[in-house]
């Protein structure tokens, strides 16, 4: 499957049109329902296989952000063999009371994994939390960059955004 074929498949499965309010507060007329590609085990496996070469070679832990980053990071961990951490938006107030579950992040080189990036806000917040736990975070990897300022926002936080696909790739897939 080519890069364009993957973009077409993701678009076919997840592209919606209408009126959508994004986590960033922005309003969009097109939406990529990440749960539709994350809920398709064959497609998710193909996505993870394509993302694996994008993981920096010195990465020690993959950190998936709640909630959409969790299935992506789990599938990616299968292809890279790297341990995974599951990062909450806030530490739970019961049980282990941890912000990051799974693999230990303190003192380790951590790659933040997300599904769709718009403004980059949640990655910036979660990276600050991970850094507070002693993680070294320099990059974030996503399935789709909506190309709406996320990479620029993250750059101000010393985070380089790497994406498998961009909104432009998905738009180009519509005309093929």
User: Is 11 marked within a binding site?
Assistant: no
pLDDT at 121: 93
User: Is 9 marked within a binding site?
Assistant: no
Residue 75 in contact with residue 42, Cβ under 8 Å?
A: no
Please indicate whether residue 91 or residue 37 has the higher confidence score (pLDDT). 37
The per-residue b/e assignment along 22-56, b for 16 or more CB within 10 angstroms, e otherwise, is: eebeeebeebbebeebbebeebbebbbebbbeebe
pLDDT at 56: 98
User: Is 166 marked within a binding site?
Assistant: no
pLDDT at 176: 58
User: Is 114 marked within a binding site?
Assistant: yes
User: Is 108 marked within a binding site?
Assistant: no
User: Is 115 marked within a binding site?
Assistant: yes
Q: Convert the pLDDT of each residue in 64-117 to its tens digit.
A: 999 999 999 999 999 999 999 999 998 878 888 798 999 999 999 999 999 999
User: Is 116 marked within a binding site?
Assistant: yes
Residue 22 has pLDDT above 80, yes or no: no
Radius of gyration for the alpha carbons in the chain, expressed in angstroms and rounded: 16
pLDDT at 47: 98
Mean pLDDT along residues 123-138: 97
- Which run of H or of E encompasses 30? strand 27-32
Mean pLDDT along residues 115-123: 93
Strand-pair partners of 139: 160
User: Is 121 marked within a binding site?
Assistant: yes
> What are the chain's domains?
3-174 (3.40.50.2020)
User: Is 102 marked within a binding site?
Assistant: no
User: Is 176 marked within a binding site?
Assistant: no
Residue 1 has pLDDT above 90, yes or no: no
Burial class (CB in 10 A: 0-12, 13-18, 19+), 132: exposed
Average pLDDT taken over every residue of the chain: 94
How far, in Å, CA of 129 to CA of 127, rounded?
A: 5
Mean pLDDT along residues 144-165: 96
* Rounded alpha-carbon distances, angstroms, from residue 157 to 8, 126, 161: 32, 11, 11
pLDDT at 97: 78
User: Is 33 marked within a binding site?
Assistant: no
How far, in Å, CA of 95 to CA of 86, rounded?
A: 15
Mean pLDDT along residues 38-57: 97
């Amino acid at each position: 499957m080519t890069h364009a074929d993957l973009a077409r498949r993701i678009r076919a499965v997840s592209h919606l049109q209408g009126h959508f309010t994004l986590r960033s507060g922005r309003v969009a007329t097109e939406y990529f329902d990440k749960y539709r590609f994350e809920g398709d085990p064959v497609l998710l496996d193909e996505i993870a296989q394509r993302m694996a070469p994008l993981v920096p070679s010195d990465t020690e832990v993959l950190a998936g952000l709640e909630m959409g980053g969790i299935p992506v990071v789990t599938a990616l961990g299968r292809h890279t063999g790297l341990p995974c951490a599951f990062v909450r938006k806030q530490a739970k107030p019961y049980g282990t009371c941890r912000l990051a579950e799974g693999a230990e992040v303190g003192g380790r080189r951590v790659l933040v994994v997300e599904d769709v990036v718009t403004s980059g806000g949640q990655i910036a917040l979660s990276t600050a939390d991970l850094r507070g736990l002693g993680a070294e975070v320099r990059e974030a990897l996503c399935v789709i960059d909506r190309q709406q300022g996320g990479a620029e926002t993250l750059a101000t936080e010393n985070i380089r955004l790497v994406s498998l696909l961009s909104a432009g790739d998905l738009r180009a897939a519509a005309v093929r």
